[in-house]
Amino acid sequence: MLPTTPPWAIASFKTPRGGELTPDQRNFNKYVGRHRVIVERVFSRMKEFAILTHPFRAEDYQLHELAFQAIVKLHNYNIVRFPMIANAAE
């Protein structure tokens, strides 16, 4: 059985063997690729915070949630100062 794409994920079109993608499929792949790059860069930037590279061993879940919220806020502030891609949402 071939794996299927989950409903919450968006997959690019794959070029069939010996064939080509339609112009609409190529445009869709470009659109998806522009947004995929942003998501991958977010994950890359989030990994810069050392706290995310190790298991969080605190028993207090609220402390874990506060730490993650602080990292997200710092990340968002960083995006405002240093955008990843200009006009990427267009």
For 31-84, write each residue's pLDDT tens digit: 888 888 878 887 787 777 777 777 777 777 788 788 888 888 887 887 777 776
Q: Which residues have CB under 8 Å from 78's CB, separation 6+? A: 45
Residue 18 within any structural domain of the chain: no
pLDDT category at 18 given cuts 50, 70, 90 is: very high
* Domain span at 42: 23-81
Residue 31 within any structural domain of the chain: yes
Residue 35 within any structural domain of the chain: yes
Tokens coding 7: 């409903």
Q: How far apart are CA 33 and CA 8, in angstroms?
A: 16
pTM beyond 0.75: no
Q: What is the pLDDT of residue 3?
A: 65
Judge whether residue 90 has pLDDT over 50.
Answer: no
**CA gyration radius, the chain:** 18
Residue 57 within any structural domain of the chain: yes
Contact by Cβ (8 Å): 12, 32: yes
Residue 56 within any structural domain of the chain: yes
Pick the closest to residue 46 from 57, 36, 38 (CA basis): 38
Residue 90 within any structural domain of the chain: no
